[in-house]
């Protein structure tokens, strides 16, 4: 076979009088035919790609339908329906899939903790995949819920990368207890509240769950009563209570805020890789051809705060400020806006927080107790 006939195309047509006429026309025009086969009611043959335009004219003249298959495509991207659909799917499918959360990965200190957090997300919080990003839990909701359930967490980092969310809980630093020479102590309440739970290591518990205690009450006694004798064992541990904390705020009416103008995903299609994959007839993951990353555009503007804006604008900021000022194991279980009023320059109000905190503090055992 000469070099000019290396690029061949395969022609298929049904056996008929028109097909015979078509082949005769090809011979009249001196078109070289290769691999001519008659299979039942079908004829297949191969001709040089350079004869394609002439073949189409002869097909019309013979009034016969032919099917053309390219053995070696002249172009990387052919002008056919299959190629068009493939390119559309390569572009559209990643855009559609990127609007869903497909995976949440837990990156914790131990494998056991990762499994525990992942199980809690699925069973207790009802996280199932895929889920639209618009309806997925907010970062603040995930963080607050996790920190209430896992009291050993000091913070929960939430990182988003495309359709994957990574939750990285940070354990509170373990403070090595300072050796105490004198264990002669009770645990007393440094605040009033309703007892929710205990973590007692040593001593005799003096209060029960859901019991109201007051500042100065003995929560855990360091004295063990054994018949007529009293044995000093000391008291150690934590007693958590719920209590309401009232705070006031005062903010200027005019504040400067950052407003989100636009957000979404920026896509970059590597057409060269797509062409190579089609030419080699190889199957590659979509991420090989399309890369994308999130973008956000903001602008600063001054805005006046009204009494109606307090719940949506001021309360989240006050919540973050309050939680950062409390001890690590303390949680905010609820918050209520008491009242708001404004004057010419400021908006003022009060917020009531339901705090859950350890109120046990050491108190020395005096003789005679």
Domain residue spans in the chain?
6-70, 185-239+360-364
- Taking a C-beta distance cutoff of 8 angstroms, is the pair 339, 351 a contact? no
Instruction: Determine the pLDDT at residue 194.
Output: 94
Nearest to 43 by CA among 71, 70, 22: 22
Q: Classify strands 103-106 and 164-171 as parallel, antiparallel or unpaired.
A: parallel
User: What pLDDT is stored for residue 279 in this prediction?
Assistant: 66
Going residue by residue through the chain, which has 369 residues, state the pLDDT in tens, using 9 for 90 and above: 444 445 788 888 888 888 888 888 888 888 888 888 888 788 888 888 888 888 888 888 888 888 888 765 545 555 667 777 878 887 877 777 777 777 778 888 788 888 888 888 877 777 777 778 777 777 777 777 877 777 777 677 787 777 788 888 877 655 555 555 456 888 999 999 999 998 888 888 999 999 999 999 999 988 888 878 888 888 889 999 999 999 888 878 777 766 666 767 777 777 777 777 666 666 666 566 777 677 677 777 777 777 677 777 777 777 777 877 788 778 888 888 887 887 777 888 888 999 999 999 998 887 555
Backbone angles phi, psi at 313, to 5 degrees: -110, -50
Predicted pLDDT at 34: 87
Separation CA 68–CA 49 (nearest Å): 10
Distance CA 11, CA 19 (A): 11
Specify the pLDDT at position 316. Answer: 76
296: Cβ–Cβ under 8 A, 6 or more apart, which residues? 260, 262, 263
3-state secondary structure 9-73: EEEEEECCHHHHHHHHHHHHCCCCCEEEEEECCEEEEEEEHHHHHHHHHHHHHHCCCCEEEECCC
Which architecture characterizes domain 6-70 according to CATH?
2-Layer Sandwich (3.30)
Residue with tokens 């001196």: 30
203 in Cβ contact with 235 (< 8 Å):
yes
Predicted model pTM: 0.43
Tens digits of residue pLDDT in 60-93: 888 888 888 876 554 555 566 777 787 888 787 7
Give the pLDDT score at 189: 93
Q: What is the pLDDT of residue 77?
A: 58
């Amino acid at each position: 076979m000469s070099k000019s006939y290396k690029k061949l195309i395969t022609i298929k047509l049904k056996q008929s009088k028109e097909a015979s006429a078509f082949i005769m026309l090809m011979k009249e025009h001196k078109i070289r035919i290769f691999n001519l086969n008659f299979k039942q009611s079908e004829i297949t043959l191969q001709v040089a790609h350079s004869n394609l335009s002439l073949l189409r004219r002869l097909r019309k003249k013979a009034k016969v339908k032919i099917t053309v298959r390219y053995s070696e495509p002249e172009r990387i991207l052919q002008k056919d329906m299959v190629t068009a659909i493939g390119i559309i799917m390569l572009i559209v499918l990643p855009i559609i899939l990127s609007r869903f959360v497909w995976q949440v990965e837990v990156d914790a200190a131990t494998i056991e903790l990762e499994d525990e957090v992942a199980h809690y997300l699925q069973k207790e919080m009802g996280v199932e995949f895929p889920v639209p990003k618009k309806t997925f839990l907010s970062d603040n909701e995930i963080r607050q819920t996790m920190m209430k359930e896992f009291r050993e967490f000091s913070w929960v980092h939430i990182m988003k990368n495309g359709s994957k969310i990574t939750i990285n809980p940070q354990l509170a630093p373990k403070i090595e207890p300072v050796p105490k020479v004198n264990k002669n102590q009770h645990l007393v309440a440094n605040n009033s509240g309703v007892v929710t739970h205990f973590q007692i290591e040593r001593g005799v518990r003096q209060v029960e769950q859901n019991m109201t205690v007051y500042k100065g009450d003995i929560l855990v006694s360091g004295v063990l009563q054994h018949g007529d004798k009293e044995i000093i064992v000391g008291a150690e541990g934590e007693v958590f209570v719920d209590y309401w904390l009232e705070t006031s705020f005062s903010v200027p009416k005019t504040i400067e805020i950052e407003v989100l103008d636009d957000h979404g995903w920026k896509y970059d299609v590597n057409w060269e890789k797509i062409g190579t994959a089609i030419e080699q007839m190889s199957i590659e993951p979509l991420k090989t051809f399309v890369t994308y990353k999130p973008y956000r555009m903001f602008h600063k503007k001054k805005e006046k705060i009204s009494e109606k804006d307090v719940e949506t604008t001021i309360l989240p900021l006050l919540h973050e400020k309050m939680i950062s000022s409390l001890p690590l194991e303390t949680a905010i279980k609820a918050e209520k806006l008491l009242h708001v009023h404004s004057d010419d320059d400021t908006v003022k109000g009060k917020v009531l927080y339901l705090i859950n905190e350890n109120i046990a503090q050491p108190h020395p055992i005096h003789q005679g107790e």
